[in-house]
Structure 1
Amino acid sequence: MTAPAQQVETSAGLRTEYPFTLPRGYVDEHGRMHRDGIMRLATARDELTTQSDQRVRANPAYLTVLLLERTVTTLGDLPAVDTFVVENLFASDLAFLQDLYRRINADGHTEVAVSCPHCGSDFAVDVAGDAPGGS
């Protein structure tokens, strides 16, 4: 298993890649587990070309598979993340990646505000799982 890559920022300081750790992990055909990966920001082209794909026209739910195939750039030491990999993720990992996609592309971050149930202190938690103490 490889360690998550460092975040990438453009010269303008825009974060474009987000390391993550899947809750369960993808199991490849050799039985190896792949949990650490990187998702990049989606482009307009990602959104447009996937919506016109015949598989999405036949089944609109397939849009998620195609968007994740394009934006998840690495997963463990797999040579590529393709539709086969995305289709064979555990449901909990697919849901995790869908939420991460929404967070980084709509909200612009992977942190959520939480409150400690014991002391009431407010703090942020990085749900991508790449921070120390993450999943």
Structure 2
Amino acid sequence: MTLQTEFEFRLPKGYIDSEGSLHRDGIMRLANARDEILPLEDPRVRRNEAYLLVILLARVITRLGDLRDINPGVIEKLFASDLNYLQGLYNRINGNGSSKLPVVCPHCDEKFELELEPAGES
């Protein structure tokens, strides 16, 4: 069994870069302890705790469209709905890791697990 460490996603709206290009598809990796500890020392986070999310996402998003250098400036320019989506994805993949729902077939009573894939993720 291998551990999945990278997760593809599709933003609801997308990031528009300085040339007007739209970037919606990306990859987020699992966070490590360093990703969650180092931003706490950042002066921007000390001034405003909400900025922690911006720095965390900049650290764990490895690709957004054609962009490979995802920095806080990119995350700051996301639409609010995309930021909310990415926060939810971050919490899901770095939480208990379970996106399976136990279900029972209404026809044959067989029990199985259904893998949930939230809208926008692939």
| Shorter-chain TM-score tier | 0.7 to 0.9
CA RMSD of aligned residues (A): 2.1
Identity %: 52
Alignment partner for residue 89 of structure 1, among 52, 74, 78? 78
TM-score, scaled relative to structure 1: 0.76
Query: After the TM superposition, which parts of structure 1 deviate over 2 Å for at least 4 consecutive aligned residues?
Result: 122-125, 128-131
User: Which amino acid in the other structure matches residue 74 of structure 2?
Assistant: V
Unaligned runs of 5+ in 2: 104-112
Aligned to 1:75: 64
Aligned to 1:61: 50
SS in structure 1 of the partner of residue 18 of structure 2: coil
Aligned to 1:118: none
User: Which amino acid in the other structure matches residue 71 of structure 2?
Assistant: D
- Counting matched residue pairs gives 113
Question: Is this contact kept in 1: 2:62–2:68, CA < 8 A?
Answer: no
Q: Aligned partners of 1:128, 1:67: CA distance in 2, in Å?
A: 22
Alignment of 1:1-135 (within 5 A): 13-109=2-98, 111=99, 113=101, 123-127=114-118, 129-131=120-122
1:108 deviation in Å?
1.2
Unaligned runs of 5+ in 1: 1-11, 116-121
User: Which amino acid in the other structure matches residue 60 of structure 1?
Assistant: E
SS in structure 2 of the partner of residue 36 of structure 1: strand
Bigger radius of gyration: 2
1:125 deviation in Å?
3.3
User: Which amino acid in the other structure matches residue 62 of structure 1?
Assistant: Y
